[in-house]
Chains A and B, each alone.
Chain A
């Protein structure tokens, strides 16, 4: 198992490099000029200096290699320094000074390190998206299990229909619909997610809950629809297997058969689907964040695209790609751990 993980980690490195190169070249081929917003009255030699200050003076390959160095060496060293110095988790370790003042990936909009802004925006995305996914999984599993167990019952038919609807209705429409019903008509929940809210009392906590209800519902419904379909079909595959008949024949209770035997075996593909879905959710949450004005990573990306802030776009897109690669690896490893038939060695 360990050799498999190590081999996969080494295989992931070229994949990540190719992906980062694709993103880099795509941004590089784009015709937009980062100096387009600078007034015409600025003399050409000053403009040239501004280009150099943005790091545009070097040829293509040098800039790419520098970005790779900054992302894989400089930024992690900053992170490790911070972890050993200030964080609660690793603060007890001796302070490290890996970061020696090298240039970090700087945003063209703010001239501050991209990763600092990402760290500021991350909690909003994590809360909304994470809760949405968690609730989605929690709704999906029981529905999938029960509708497979009672296949073609009323519950199954209604459940399948609702999951088909949830899977087909795009999140930007569900979000807007919820706003129309619950904010505009009923006035129960705020339509805009206020990230400046500080939770320090019961009232502010309730306010936080109220503003999270709608975005979390939208994401949870969408994810639940997809996962419950997988759960149902995986349960159906297993319910007709011979071992189920054997388990019943030896007199096990129905509960032990379904929850003990069938569920455990059906969870094998579902767990990997859940793991593979995490990065998709981050990417897809861009739309939900935009609907509810959550200033998380998705909004940061859209703002950066509109402002032609290439280092920010490059880094953010690559972080999304990194998430996909990492969760693919996690799914593979999980598969090996929970399915005893699969041995990678």
Chain B
């Protein structure tokens, strides 16, 4: 070992990852844009205090002005406030649905990869889920179960639970397959053998030795999962099968604006750009994370 290497402090793995991540310009920009969108949407209402559901019929269809920066809709509701409220719902749906899908997928993947007896049934289940036509099934689930859930949890929370549940249940398969693959490879490594030889039980083995080593593929699919969930929610809202009309989401705003597309095209553009920008930044973030967390690419 040379002197220079000995004198410099040892670099941690996370430092290497950060260096690689920084070098991916798209990912850095994506992270900044996504954070900016999240902050605007969640903290913006503290600054811009207009009520997104306040109907002011005299001020309807106003063009952008100082009073209404994004203009108003056909009922005179402030578009800026509605955009922020819609973003809050869309991003919350994205994050929650992603967490559900990742939890399901990682659990299935860990169990299938670790316990040989569970591998066959769980992988057949994954295959069957992958053969299901997801968008048609989501549409069916949302239409059929909207009313009873709305009755028991209230219209907004019921729809939220339904949409998050439906998206989560239909998008865990890719994660499960990736995690299972990594677990199968990890199981053959020496440190697992070492841990087993000192008597580690299965539960501890998964929690202490396997799980920390599959964090990186899970993180990548989590990031890409947010984007997919936001798109799916907007698609459902766009088809008129998402949240109730007085409860704005970006997809719903776009859907409502389509009727007035000829007179007020700007109202279509704002939510569409918001969805696209969020998804684009999250996808770039995911791409950068994938490169940064992949030791074969890192350091090249």
| A-to-B contact residues, CB < 8 Å | 15, 18-19, 22-23, 26-27, 30-32, 161, 164-165, 167-170, 172-173, 176-177, 179-180, 184-185, 279, 283-284, 286-287, 290, 301-302, 305-306, 313, 316-317, 320-321, 323-325, 328
Contacts and interface: CB of A to CB of B under 8 A. Distances in A.
Given A23-B137, A283-B134, A320-B133, A173 B144 contact: no
B269 A180 contact: yes
Contacts of A172: 234-235, 238, 251, 254
Contacts of A15: 127-128, 131
Chief secondary structure at chain A's binding surface: helix
A317 to B, nearest CB: 5
B261 interface: yes
Nearest to A18: B128
Given A164-B284, A283-B135, 17 more contacts: A22-B128, A23-B137, A31-B148, A164-B26, A164-B280, A168-B227, A170-B231, A170-B275, A172-B234, A172-B235, A184-B261, A286-B136, A287-B239, A305-B140, A313-B140, A317-B137, A324-B132
B104 interface: no
Given A27-B140, A31-B147, A32-B144, A173 B133 contact: no
A15 B123 CA distance: 12
A173 B234 CA distance: 10
A184 B262 contact: yes
B137 to A, nearest CB: 6
Contacts of B280: 164-165, 168-169
A328 B131 contact: yes
Contacts of B136: 283, 286, 301, 316-317, 320
Contacts of A305: 139-140, 143, 241
Closest 4 A/B residue pairs (Cβ): A30-B144, A320-B133, A173-B272, A168-B280
A313 B138 CA distance: 12
Contacts of B269: 177, 180
Contact of B272 (A177, A286, A325): A177
Nearest to B283: A168
A309 to B, nearest CB: 11
A162 B282 CA distance: 15
A258 to B, nearest CB: 23
A286 B137 contact: no
Contacts of A30: 140, 144-145
Contacts of B258: 176
18 contacts: A18-B128, A22-B128, A23-B140, A165-B276, A168-B227, A170-B234, A172-B238, A173-B254, A176-B261, A177-B268, A177-B269, A179-B261, A286-B239, A287-B135, A287-B238, A305-B241, A316-B136, A324-B131
A289 B127 CA distance: 28
Contacts of A168: 227, 276, 279-280, 283
B133 A283 contact: yes
Given A15-B128, A169-B276, A321 B133 contact: yes
A169 B238 CA distance: 14
Contacts of A290: 238-239
A31 B149 CA distance: 11
A315 to B, nearest CB: 11
Given A31-B148, A173-B275, A176-B254, A22 B139 contact: no
A302 B139 contact: yes
A22 B272 CA distance: 34
A296 B284 CA distance: 34
A180 B147 CA distance: 34
Interface in B274-299: 275-276, 279-280, 283-284, 287
Contact of B268 (A164, A180, A306): A180
Interface string B84-123: 0000000000000000000000000000000000000000
A32 B234 CA distance: 25
B234 A321 contact: no
Contacts of A23: 132, 137, 140
A42 B134 CA distance: 38
Nearest to A282: B133
B47 to A, nearest CB: 27
Nearest to B280: A168
Interface in B119-178: 127-128, 130-137, 139-141, 143-145, 147-148
Nearest to B134: A283
Interface in B255-277: 258, 261-262, 265, 268-269, 272, 275-276
